Structures are given as C-alpha cells and as structure tokens.
A = this chain, B = another copy of it.
Amino acid sequence: MKKIINDPNSVVHEMLNGLVTTSNHLKLLDNSTVIVRTDAPIPNKVGIVSGGGSGHEPAHAGYVGKGMLDAAVAGEVFTSPTPDQVFEAIKAVDTGNGVFLVIKNYTGDVLNFEMAAELAEAEGIQVEKVIVNDDVAVEDSSFTTGRRGIAGTIFVHKIAGAMAESGAPLQAVKQVAEKVVANVRSMGMALTPCTVPASGKPSFHLEENEMEIGIGIHGEPGIERKPIATAEAIATELTEKVLGDYDFSGEVAVMVNGLGSTPEMELHIINKKVQAILADRGITVYKTYVGEYMTALEMAGCSVTLLKLDDEIKQLLDAPSEAQAFRQ
C-alpha cells in the first residue's frame, strides 16, 4: 500500500485536524468528526448538513461554507458516520428554523442520518431530508437499495445551500432539493481500484487493459468490464446512458468529476466530447464544472453528471459560495 499516512486507524482524525487549518471559516467540533462553519449556528437560517464516509474528499467538508453546507459529518473511510455524530452536527447548526439533511443513498448513511433526525426531533428540532440517487448505472448495489448517490450530490449541496442562505424556510429548501434530485443524473467509470487504508489491499482488481463502466464510488460493481476505450467512446457511453434516463432537453449544467488519480488533462478531454454530444442533441450547456468533486481515494476514473436547469435552479446555482471546493 503506497500511502502518505501515519496510522491507518487515525487517518480521518488527522485529516480533519489538518483541514481546519486551511480556513478561518471552518472549525472542527470538539471530540467529533464534524466540520462546521465558524459562524454557525446562523440565526434565521435553515441549517444544511451532509456527510458520509471519508475518502471522497473534497466531499463533504470542502462544501462547508457560506452559501452551501453549514456542517459536514465524516465517517471512517467508506463507512457511514454514526447517528450520534450526525446528531452533533444537527445540534451545532440549528437555530430554531430547522435543519435539512442531504444524504447520499447508501443504506448505512440513510439509516444513520434518519436515526439522527429522530434524536433531533425528540429534542424539538425540526428536520427534513433528501436522499440523492443520481447514479444511473445500476439499480441496487453492494451497499444500496435503489440507485447510488454520487457526484450529483454536489449540485444538491449548492442549490439547497443557496436556498437556505436566502432565508427560505425548511419546506422551501426541501422542495428545491427534491427538484434537483429529480433533475440530476450521473454515471462513472474506473481504470484502477483504490485501497482503504485500514484494509491495505485494493478493493478489487482490473486487468492492465481493462476498465469498468458504471462503477460506484466505493468500488461497487458497475455494468460491465471491458478493454479500455478511447476518451470519446467513454464519454459517449456515460453521457448517452445519462441522457437516456431523463429528458434533458433545454438547458443543463455539466459536471465532469475525477475519482482521484485521473489527471485534470483527461477530464478536460472527456468534457470536450460531452460538450459535443450535448451540442449535437440541441441541449444548451449553461455551466460546466471539471475537477475533483466527489472522489474515491486514489481511484482512476471519472463520472459525468447532468443537471437539468430551470430559472430557479440557475439562479441558485449562480449564487455566491464561500465553500473551499466550490468557491464562486
């Protein structure tokens, strides 16, 4: 295992302690794995909380900041945070206007975030949630009933975050988040596996000339393993599958996301073809994001996300954000 770490069992703790030094706007709650805005809880604002297993950085702590999340809860690598940890986050951001949870659709996350919501409601905190399931590759998966939540989650953070920042009430935040979930689709692929530090071994094996289409962000099986194709063929396969799942006519936002060790150069090459496919279909691209937004440690590969836009989503997408991984 080639990793720059100290102890495989303390990577999350050390990461979070390093991470908070990069911004005066972030703090780590004492004895926890919760990163919150230093100005939280913010009066008269719905608090937005997300999180999940670590290893997907910059998700989710990179999205904490004015205009996006109020708090992110980190579990162990590829492991859900506990209900107690999520409950800590909820308490840290609530000011009586309620808290909204953005949950990626993995069984552990859904269970633990929902249990945390119950704990919070028992203390009189209003909690609502949305479950993101943007990955069109497979129905049900190793850790998921239904579709998995992947990079499309970042658009939910952004739009729910902007809505909350505008002072909108909890139900309005929930409504627009649900619209984003309905309008967003993704699919990914990988060239190499990744290694969870505590395991020390790659999570699966791909031959030297092989790729896997539709793979999950924890290495869960995808649709097909086959010889590595060209970037154009890969972009076409991912984009066509996404387009075939929903009516994207009109205007979209595009995200080409790197899974960890894919050079930015290759993401731009994928993006070039995605843009060409959309132009051919008469779909207008309003905004394009290329980079590492939702990773799987050092997995090589990428995902393509499309978000169908309307005026409301466009306005919220364009709103300012001070989150480190989505500054605009």
Residues of A that sit less than 8 Å from B by CB: 2-6, 11-12, 14-19, 21-22, 54-55, 57-58, 62, 77, 191-192, 208, 211, 228, 230-232, 234, 260-272, 275, 285, 288-290, 292, 295, 297-298, 300-302, 327-328
The reply to whether B263 and A21 form a contact with Cβ atoms under 8 Å apart is no
Q: Specify how many copies of this chain sit in the oligomer.
A: 2
Picked from B16, B265, B271, B275, the residue with its CB within 8 Å of the CB of A55 is: B265
The reply to whether A275 and B327 form a contact with Cβ atoms under 8 Å apart is no
User: What secondary structure prevails in chain A residues at the interface with B?
Assistant: mixed
Give 11 CB contacts A-B under 8 Å.
A4-B262, A5-B266, A12-B265, A14-B231, A15-B268, A19-B268, A57-B268, A77-B265, A261-B298, A262-B298, A263-B297
Shortest beta-carbon distance, A140 to chain B, in Å?
27
Picked from B54, B58, B232, B288, the residue with its CB within 8 Å of the CB of A22 is: B288
The reply to whether A298 and B295 form a contact with Cβ atoms under 8 Å apart is no
Shortest beta-carbon distance, A320 to chain B, in Å?
11
In the complex where A2-B208, A298-B300 touch, is A285 in contact with B21 (Cβ < 8 A)?
yes
Shortest beta-carbon distance, A6 to chain B, in Å?
5
In the complex where A18-B269, A268-B14, A290-B18 touch, is A191 in contact with B2 (Cβ < 8 A)?
yes
